[in-house]
Amino acid sequence: MFLRKKIDAYLIAAILVVLGVDLAVFLFSPSPLIPIIWMLISLNIKGCICCWNHHHQHLKFFYPEWANRALELVMGLQTGIVGEAWVLHHIFGHHVNYLDQTKDESAWKDEKGRTMPPLEYAWTVTTQAYPKALKVGKKYPKIRVRLIQNMVATALVLLALASVNSVNTLIQFVFPMAFLLFMTVYVTYEHHAGLDEKDPYKATYNITDHWYNFFTCNLGYHTAHHVQCGRHWSELPQFHAEIKDKIPATLYRDAGFPLTWITKAQQILAAHGVSWNRG
């Protein structure tokens, strides 16, 4: 067997298609204009890949290790988060410590116990992400070595790309990597901020919007994810249904623009007898 779950083939195909377009635009664009246009278009797509990268690190898509590392190299170039960074900072860091703000690698409180505003949180966690991943890695030396290898491999690929076209490398790879790392952190603020709880069923916000969970592969079922982070993303809605009675009604949020608007539009159309099959 090669894939752990057949459904992941769709995500892998999308990741490789984006890589193919990236390389085609990088190599054949006559001016920086097309790379800039594609970069702006692809940021939202790569934002989804950030979520898929997260899921992959919790439960690898492939059985063979070489295939996982190759895919992680690609996703690292697309999202700014290289293989094993999620594992150390997020799984062995945040997931272990999120109920204790004095230890959480993604803490939304500062050292004085003050709740940071979103931008301060995003800047603080982003700039400390790799140093903290390496620090956590001291407890897991083999994973730390792989993280360093992946960081070096990613840097070498970027240098090789820059030797071909430095401007396109900055536009299509370096800027999106930095921006998406920051935005990945920024959007995680609403997962836990303000919930200083010891009960895991009360320490996480959830988003049950269909379209949000379609694009993020069920990241909105965040309590379920934290309670059993080893579950495959496709199993989270079912597990959420099993535990939802333990989650306070106040811990549900809208998906935000434009997804909430799309969902409300569907509801209005449905109320007037117009059906839109969401698949």
200 preceded by a cis bond (ω within 30 of 0): no
**Count of CB atoms within 10 A of residue 231's CB?**
17
- Tens digit of pLDDT for each residue in 226-262? 999 999 999 999 999 999 999 999 999 998 888 878 8
Instruction: Please give the distance of CA 164 from its chain centroid, rounded to a whole number.
Output: 29
Which residues touch 44 (CB under 8 Å, ≥6 apart)? none
The pTM is what? 0.92
Question: What's the token pair of residue 72?
Answer: 């992680």
The angle formed by the CA atoms of residues 228, 207 and 119, to the nearest 5 degrees, is 100
- Tens digit of pLDDT for each residue in 8-67? 999 999 999 999 999 999 999 999 999 999 999 999 999 999 999 999 999 999 999 999
Residue recorded with tokens 């190599």: 27
Single out the residue of 250, 272, 255 nearest to residue 194, CA to CA.
250
First to last CA, the chain: 28
